[in-house]
Amino acid sequence: MTNSETIGAPLPHYAVILTVVPGDDLDGYREMCQHLVAKAKTHPGFLGIEMAESDIGIVVSYWESIDAIRIWSADSFHQAAKHEAKQRWYKSFRTRICKVELNY
């Protein structure tokens, strides 16, 4: 994990900030995350991902365009993973779609 995956990516690009309050039982959660990240990396327009977790989890994924985010959101594996996460692992979660205007 680095914090510099989007160095050199043209601006503007887009960030999806997912913040999560995890539940108590995280059995299977990390495996799902690994699969999901591997899948995201194969999607057109994917630029990078950064994750950290302590009291809350924060996942920021970076994309070339809003269209790339829309296509990824509609991916059936991604949708199934989100559904399972909401049911099993997340107490709460919040998503922000952002236009990255500066990156330094």
Which residues of the shown chain bind its own copies in the complex (CB under 8 A)? 1-4, 6-7, 15, 17, 19-21, 50-58, 60, 92-104
Other CB atoms within 10 A of residue 40 CB: 18
Least Å distance, CB 22 to its own copies, is 10
Least Å distance, CB 58 to its own copies, is 4
State the first-to-last Cα distance of the chain, in angstroms, to the nearest integer.
18
Least Å distance, CB 11 to its own copies, is 10
Other CB atoms within 10 A of residue 95 CB: 12
Contacts of 7 (CB under 8 A, 6+ apart): 103
Give 37 or 103: the residue with its C-beta nearer to its own copies.
103
